[in-house]
Amino acid sequence: MADSFKPTLYVNHRCPFCLKFMIYLAQAGLLEDFTVTVFEPGSPEHEATKTHLIPHFDSVSFPVVEVEPGVFKKDSDALIAYYAEKSGKKAADMPLLDYYSSGVLKQVIDLFMENRKLKEEAAANA
């Protein structure tokens, strides 16, 4: 990308959607174009980052990129689409991204849903 502005990428170290977007950027050869800000969930840096981003969204979730000065975007799929359009590097051409999304990420989402259901059932039976 020829822009002189260097976008900042905000990622939660344990977020599977943040990793998905980082895999896209790495496979597209774009990751070095970003300043990457990583925080641990529940850390003071996490809270500070959310506080910084709250004015820009109805609700904050990660990954987030400041794509232009003062312009912030979130959601891994939306960010991949944005940079695919901007760079011409299509997600469909990235086998590692598909491998991760259809494998490990799918498993993480399935486990999250199962865990939430079990917690709801446990609460209903308490």
Ligand X SMILES: N[C@@H](CCC(=O)N[C@@H](CS)C(=O)NCC(=O)O)C(=O)O
Closest distance to ligand X from the beta carbon of 8 (Å): 16
Question: Shortest Cβ distance from residue 48 to ligand X (Å)?
Answer: 12
Nearer to ligand X, 17 or 24 (CB): 17
| C-beta closer to ligand X: residue 47 or 121 | 47
CB of 125 to ligand X, least distance (A): 27
Which sign, positive or negative, has the C-alpha torsion 49, 19, 13, 38? Answer: negative
Complex with ligand X: residue 28 or 49, whichever CB lies closer: 49
Task: Output the 3-class SS for 8-66.
Answer: EEEEECCCHHHHHHHHHHHHHCCHHHCEEEEECCCCHHHHHHHHHHHHHCCCCCCCEEE
- Which residues here bind ligand X, judged by CB under 6 A? 12, 15-17, 41, 50, 61-63, 75-77
